[in-house]
Chains A and B, each alone.
Chain A
Amino acid sequence: MNTETRTIRPFTGLGGLDEVLEGVVLHFGPDAVRANESIALDMPPYEFLLRPVHLEWAADEVSFHEFKDLLVTRALRAEIPLDSLSLVVVASSSFLKIAEIVFTWPVDDIDALPRQTALTEVRRPRAFNTPFSGFRVDVYLLLDRDLAFRPLRPHRRGTWIARSNYRIETTLGPAVLPPTPLTDEIRTRYGLPAKTIRYFDFGDHDVTQPYAEQEPPVFYIDANLLGQLNARRNSPASRAIQLQLAIDFIHAVIRRASASNDLDGLKYDDLRATLLGNVLRVAAGPGASHADLDNLVRKVQDDPEYVVARAEHFADVQSGFVGCLEEAES
């Protein structure tokens, strides 16, 4: 299993240029999303489709002037020519794999940039027409041409220097992934013993990072067992095993998160769109407050078995198992 978690950006000497987009806000109709945050909305599709989308580069004219000033002075301090930089906005949606550049603006013309940029005024990009999957907007400050190579300095066209992202969610991701058949060929690939019945391949997937932006992990179940479970989907034994496998998966996600050092200082809101966030919602149960969820985030590090126990409780594993046993005997 691959144990890599995240790529560290390989550049130095950017002098704070990588932070210039932190104050940019995305507006989706009346709702505002701050940089690197998401909002979950529940609304009918027609309302979603009517909502305008726009970016606000700064809250008022004074801070907008400061934003532009900061961008130019920090670029010059980082020795990156202004005529090699652009602001680029990409809108994307995960289910249909839509991604589209919806706005570009050269930094050497930054004085003419308006404080607000409408993204749906002339034409509504397809990514904003996805009321069931929601969408993501990435704002980049990037190199729009190649620069001469210098070690540890950005030089390739397309390299982003600063980035902020915004997510509009309308549906929750999965807490438990659909299983994939574990065949002999796959066992050989992973070096697994012949009677292995389950295996989790997280690959590069980081359970504390947004689910939709990464390759999903793969949850393998022995092909023969999976076939039997599906064929007898409603039998007591099948239901009990399915319940246990779901808990196994939840356990694996919690174990993975617990072993990572990335939870320090994080709150539930930071994890809302992640696989861990989905698992936490199961473990927190219906009606849990934000404080309960924040508390569970801490528990994932301090006492992961407690979180698993809560997930067992709210998934009602006990009555599931007992009911299956009683039904099997009757």
Chain B
Amino acid sequence: MRYPTLTQSKCAELAAKLASGADSAIEPHTLWIGHGDDLELTPIKGAANTITRDMLHWRDRDRDRFEGEASIRLYESLRHVPTEILDDRGFWRFLSLRYYWEFIAWREEDAFARGNYLKYVDASTNTESVLPRMYVRACAVGGNEHRSLASGIPNAGDFWRSHVVRVRTASAPVITRAFASKHARDRLTTDPLREAAKRLNRTWTNIVLHLYDRRDAEVLIDNIWDEVRGQ
């Protein structure tokens, strides 16, 4: 399958142009990788259009909740994309600049205003670059079936980025769901939340949590909450 990518250097060059307000066509700089049929981009384009349109009507200051909702839409639009393409950072760079630039600029408005935009579009990390982190967040909750959870916690940018996407918890949807549900129901403030996350990360050190089912995960998270609340 052939799919579009942007190299890191081309991404930096084009992003600088876009950030300065200049119009810059992405296609002439796109590098198509692979052989055979072209990857179907219509659903991806459709999701990007919907997200960009909806963002214009979003009045809440909590843009992370919007990101959570949009993450599911992004994830669903990429269901047909083979893993090996999703693993290519060049593909994410293409998506960021070609379809999602406006949304990413809106989501990271403050950083963009300071001229700090590249790490949000260049897919160098899955915790900062907006589209990869959204994709990981949607995978971490388990996709569309759990869409309300991805956007159900108010002002939870730090929760998702620091305590889920950045760590092993993101690779275990059962654990992520128990963690996020608990935080939604019984919210911890910043420091206790950090302590709870640290305890969960330490549990990973000795226990293979991929083995846990929903009930196991809920008991584990309840215990961590009790310990943190009891301190």
Contacts and interface: CB of A to CB of B under 8 A. Distances in A.
Interface of A: 7, 9-10, 45, 48-49, 88, 90, 92-101, 126, 129-133, 138, 140, 142, 144, 156-160, 174, 178, 180-181, 204, 213, 215-216, 223-224, 226-228, 230-231, 233
Contact of A227 (B114, B127, B207): B114
A45 to B, nearest CB: 6
A96 B83 contact: yes
Given A96-B136, A223-B114, A224-B114, A140 B83 contact: no
Given A88-B208, A226-B114, 12 more contacts: A96-B86, A96-B126, A96-B135, A97-B165, A98-B139, A130-B84, A160-B207, A181-B114, A213-B168, A216-B125, A216-B166, A230-B115
Contacts, number: 119
B24 interface: no
Given A93-B87, A215-B201, A158 B135 contact: no
Nearest to B125: A178
B110 to A, nearest CB: 9
B98 to A, nearest CB: 19
Contacts of B40: none
Chain A interface mostly helix, strand, loop or mixed?
Answer: mixed
Query: Which 8 A/B pairs are nearest by Cβ-Cβ distance?
Result: A227-B114, A231-B115, A99-B171, A230-B115, A129-B83, A158-B207, A97-B170, A130-B87
B114 A144 contact: no
A213 B205 CA distance: 11
Interface in B120-135: 124-128, 132, 135
B54 interface: no
B116 A227 contact: yes
Contacts of B171: 92, 97-99
Interface residues of B, number: 46
Contact of A181 (B88, B116, B132, B168): B116
Contacts of B139: 96-98
A49 B87 contact: no
B167 interface: yes
Contact of B206 (A45, A101, A159): A159
B130 to A, nearest CB: 14
Interface string B203-219: 00111111110001000
Contact of A88 (B88, B166, B211): B211
B89 interface: yes
Contacts of A132: 84, 87-89
Counting chain B CB atoms within 10 Å of each CB, which of A95, A133, A227 scores highest?
A: A95
Contacts of A133: 87
B210 A101 contact: yes
B124 A178 contact: yes
B2 interface: no
B140 interface: yes
B41 interface: no
A9 B205 CA distance: 9
A157 B216 contact: yes
Nearest to B84: A129
B45 to A, nearest CB: 22
Nearest to A214: B167
B112 to A, nearest CB: 10
B114 A10 contact: no
Contacts of A159: 206-208
